[in-house]
A and B are shown apart, each in its own frame.
Chain A
Amino acid sequence: MALANLSRRAFLQTTAAGTAGLALSLGGATRAFAADLTVGIVYVGARDDFGWNQAHAVAIQALKLVPGVKVVEEENVPETDACAKTMESMINLDGAGLILATSFGYYTPFVVDMAKKYPKVEFRHAAPLWDKDKDPKNAGSYFGYLNQGHYVDGVAAGLSTKSNKLGFVAAKPIASVLSNINSFMLGARKVNPNAVVQVIFTGDWSMPVREAEAASALVDAGCDVITCHVDSPKVVIETAEKRGVKSCGHNASQAPLAPKGFITGAEYKWETIYKGYAADLAAGKTLSNFTAGGIELDMVQNTPFGAGATDAAKTAATAAIADMKAKKPIYVGPLKDNKTGKIVIDKTYGNLDPYLDQMNYLLEGVVGSIT
């Protein structure tokens, strides 16, 4: 079976190479998939996980409604060569012209290798990893600045807390997680200078029991608003609701999980990016290799307010969303880190400034350590 697979792939590869060569010799032939586009999307988990994968799946539902677009999906694909096989079968068997690889670990080497092997297919990966010097031109990255949504959450949370202690259950101390924590704190402090954000790192993206323990421990420590950055916030939000405290969401809408305490949540709006890709391909345009934005580009949004949001919180959060649309900066320097008191953000940076992508510190106002 494996042998049969191999020879089929090898055959297809030669054919693809031949076609590519032919296309080259003809010089700038138009893309075959301009009229009808098949999009293949690969998920690392279940599409209905109340988190990262669901955010993509919701966008794909919207993309399916675009005329001329067909979608093939596969979920629970591990970050191993299984994802390469999935992408190949989407290309060879389903005729996918655009592959969306949605998990961090898919990129190197799988997306890069496949992009080299299938130069006629476009590959886009949901993390800012594409390197314009090294990586193939038919690959690329897209990403949402979710920290803007967390900033808005922070504003609402800062006005919702009575103890001035906000809890944050985080998976791993990487830049995007740290930026979400810091932005949440800055949002809270903007409206409530006494607010403190307490962080617990669980150490991995999906640890349901430890996430429940962490949320419980934060409530025990006096936090009365809980939010998180883990793959599936379901357990954290449900634990907060069970313990009778308020919560803010992450990745997708968790509003139905907390009918009493849900305030709002930071959500991706991948729909904007996916529809943009489909429109560009239909128009015969070259796809951008790097697409990223936040609320100002409609790539991030906040979940509609739940029962936990007070009127004051709603007003302030709505104003904060308007600020984000107007590109008002979150990181107004100088800002110190929470460990040594050293200034880590020397001046005010725009919300999409690449300097902020290198974040490896928690700011003053956050209780917690990244090591």
Chain B
Amino acid sequence: MNDGLATVLIAMLGGAIRVSTPFMFVALGECLTEKSGRVNLGLEGTLVLGAMVAYAASYHTGSPWAGVFAAGVAGSALGAMHGSICKLPKVNDVAVGIAMMLFGTGVAFFFGKPYIQPTAPRLPSLPLGGWSDSSSLKSALDVNPLFFVGIVIAIVMAWALRNTRWGLVVRTVGDSAAAARAMGISVDLVRFLTTTVGGFLAGVGGAFLSLSYPGSWNQGLSSGQGLMAVALVIFARWNPMRCVIAALLFGGAGAIGPALQSVGITQGYYFFNAAPYILTLVIMIATSSAKRSARDMPGELSMAR
């Protein structure tokens, strides 16, 4: 049974590392966008389009990193589109986001057709488990560089939001558009930029899905991960570091279902497969507080108004 426990723990570690990366990128992108007072629900579409573009670009150029960059550019294009539509008067960003989600997945499916069959070069991963004899630990510690990139982005973003003039501008725009205007800041421009950068990050998250794990392009690839990541931002209370932790937790919990079945605990797999959602709910309830959430939430978000 100890062996079984070790297997499950290793699987959860591996799952946390493998599955969390796309969540992390989308959540960080959305976190930045929401910090400026705008919600972009379209990131599910951005994620899918990013996955498709990354696979296609990697296939044509032979370089997976070119694929990652192309995915980021495609994501920024969608983000910029969302940002410029929401600039127009009386436009609801949530409704636009849903439209962008359908648009992004539609475009990805349309242009992605010819790329389901061919095999594109994938992103290499760093074999950090070389010291271990256990093949399962080795595979769990086969970490994609994007995972570390995500953590670095989170640290930089957390620091920049708190300590730089740029960060102050984003937070001001997010908390009170009127105050930002009084300071002479162009609210629309700031939001346009944060949505574009947010789209870039979500696109890169998509590149991870198609070029690293699970590592192939097909239409069911995302199955709602982009939407979950947007929800994780609320769970993480608009804090980039907490976004990383939330993504790790979610990834690790997702590995519980398959891992338990592999060690012979097979009863109730539907329940264990729901573990990430149950865990998220439990933590949300346990840490919820009406006062604190009101303090953390950017004042200009359409759900706050």
Contact = CB atoms under 8 A, between A and B. Distances in A.
Interface in B9-59: 10-11, 14-15, 18-19
B211 interface: no
Contact of A201 (B116, B255, B261, B263): B261
B61 interface: no
B267 A371 contact: yes
A74 B18 CA distance: 35
A43 to B, nearest CB: 12
A50 B214 CA distance: 15
B139 A369 contact: no
B254 interface: yes
Contact of A220 (B7, B225, B270): B7
B258 interface: yes
Q: Chain B contact residues (Cβ within 8 angstroms of A): what range?
A: 35 or more
Interface stretch (A101-109, A126-134, A234-242): A234-242
Main secondary structure of the interface of B (DSSP, over half): helix
B218 interface: yes
Interface string B205-249: 000010001111011110101000000000000000000000000
Contact of A209 (B19, B139, B269): B19
A76 interface: yes
B10 A367 contact: no
B218 A369 contact: no
B221 A208 contact: yes
Interface string B172-209: 00000000000000000000000000000000000001
Nearest to A213: B258
B218 A208 contact: yes
Interface string B131-169: 000011001000000000000000000000000000000
Contacts of B263: 221
B264 interface: yes
A207 B139 contact: no
B84 interface: no
Contacts of A201: 261, 269
B113 interface: yes
A219 B139 contact: yes
Interface in A147-204: 198-203
A200 B262 contact: yes
Nearest to A236: B214
B266 A214 contact: no
Interface of A: 45-46, 48-50, 76, 198-203, 206-214, 216-221, 231-232, 234-235, 238-239, 242-243, 256-257, 367-369, 371
Given A76-B219, A220-B7, 11 more contacts: A45-B219, A200-B258, A208-B218, A210-B254, A214-B261, A235-B214, A235-B216, A239-B214, A242-B215, A256-B119, A257-B119
